[in-house]
Amino acid sequence: MLRLATRPCRYLPVLVERTSPDGVVTLESALLARAGFAHAFSTRAGGVSAAPFDTLNLQSTQANGRIPEGEPRDLDANIRENHARFAAAAGLARNATVADLSQVHSCSVARAADALAARVPADAVTSPRGGCAVLVRVADCVPVLIADEATGHVAAVHAGWRGVVSGIVPAAVDALRALGVDPGRAVAAIGPCISAKHFEIGPEVADALATADLASCVVDPGVHGPKHHADLVAAVALQLARAGLAHANIDAEPPCTYADRARFFSYRRDGAASGRLAAIIAPLR
């Protein structure tokens, strides 16, 4: 039997493309922009990196330094300049303080203050009103930005299929709730990631999603190919809704990283030659 995710019957806001004065192309959520949050999802355009990382590679310098000799590696100076350009394109200062993570496909949520003090192994990070911006990196996984206008608090989430199954998205919402956020008034945007059409999975992943009560987000063999596929966008949107966010408060129609080589990096498509995309958001002051 075919299982497809059921999406809310409404016209979902789209991510709007913006180009900064120095040519950095980003995507902006209408929901987050209306709520007053400086934020952006990156594309691969507008940076200084050479091929195969052309041009806005937002890998961390720590991960870049761990790439084995003989495999493609960017220059740390390029990565730093790319991050400065991306921050400016998101409406922040080029040298803005930004908390990021050592992403490990977990269900761990860190506080921005802790992430600034040490490189924390986690896959979501929160920041309170008046705090620093927060950032996650992807190259097919799902980036999620969550914000609450009433409190000014924010979270950034990295959700691959393992993170989805382990519950990183509801864990991030719970962390915001602990800070005083009412999920019913929060807004969220899902950024560029791999689409169901291109995300082929094995039966063990399909079973893991079903065990996590996400069977509706598994596409049976024969629809997109001979194997199962997974709709991670639908899975994340469903988890956000189950965590208390209103369907109307979720931007959930992102472009596919795998399908659009001109605009996005994709690890599944390009392997070690893939750069990294990022999602960034700053809390209200």
Q: For position 154, which CATH number holds?
A: 3.60.140.10
Query: Is the peptide bond prior to 55 cis by the omega test (within 30 degrees of 0)?
Result: yes
Average pLDDT, the chain: 95
Does pLDDT of 3 surpass 80?
no
Cβ–Cβ < 8 Å for 154, 146 = yes
Least confident of 4-8, 167-171, 222-226: 4-8
Q: What is the pLDDT of residues 223-278, one digit of tens each?
A: 999 999 999 999 999 999 999 999 999 999 999 999 999 999 999 999 999 999 99
* Rounded CA separation 263/42 (Å): 9
pLDDT interval class at 14 (50, 70, 90): confident
Say how many Å lie between the first and final Cα of the chain, rounded: 50
Q: What is the pLDDT of residues 211-232, one digit of tens each?
A: 999 999 999 999 999 999 999 9
* Rounded CA separation 190/233 (Å): 7
Going edge to edge, which strands form the sheet with 15-19?
15-19, 25-29, 39-42, 277-281, 133-138, 98-99
Distances from the Cα of 77 to the Cα of 84, 96, 99, 123, 279, angstroms: 11, 17, 19, 25, 20
Least confident of 7-11, 116-120, 178-182: 7-11
State mean pLDDT over 19-28: 97
Distances from the Cα of 66 to the Cα of 72, 115, 183, 258, angstroms: 11, 20, 38, 24
Q: Does residue 133 lie in a domain region?
A: yes
pLDDT interval class at 184 (50, 70, 90): very high
pLDDT at position 4 is 39
Q: Does residue 182 lie in a domain region?
A: yes
pLDDT interval class at 10 (50, 70, 90): very low
Helix axes 232-242, 168-178, angle to 10 degrees: 30
Q: What is the pLDDT of residues 37-53, one digit of tens each?
A: 999 999 999 999 999 99
* Rounded CA separation 144/240 (Å): 10
Q: Does residue 29 lie in a domain region?
A: no
Range of the domain at 75: 35-281
Residue found by looking up tokens 């992943």 in the block = 205
State mean pLDDT over 134-155: 98
Q: Does residue 25 lie in a domain region?
A: no
Does pLDDT of 1 surpass 50?
no
Does pLDDT of 29 surpass 90?
yes
| Amino acid letter, 198 | H
Does pLDDT of 12 surpass 60?
no
Helix (H, G, I), strand (E, B) or coil at 278: strand
Q: Does residue 11 lie in a domain region?
A: no
| Amino acid letter, 137 | R
Cβ–Cβ < 8 Å for 172, 95 = no
Does pLDDT of 78 surpass 60?
yes
In the chain, % of residues over pLDDT 70: 95
Total domains present in the chain: 1
pLDDT at position 107 is 98
* Rounded CA separation 131/282 (Å): 8
Distances from the Cα of 164 to the Cα of 89, 168, 217, angstroms: 29, 6, 11
Least confident of 69-73, 87-91, 179-183, 192-196: 69-73
Q: Does residue 266 lie in a domain region?
A: yes
Q: Does residue 163 lie in a domain region?
A: yes
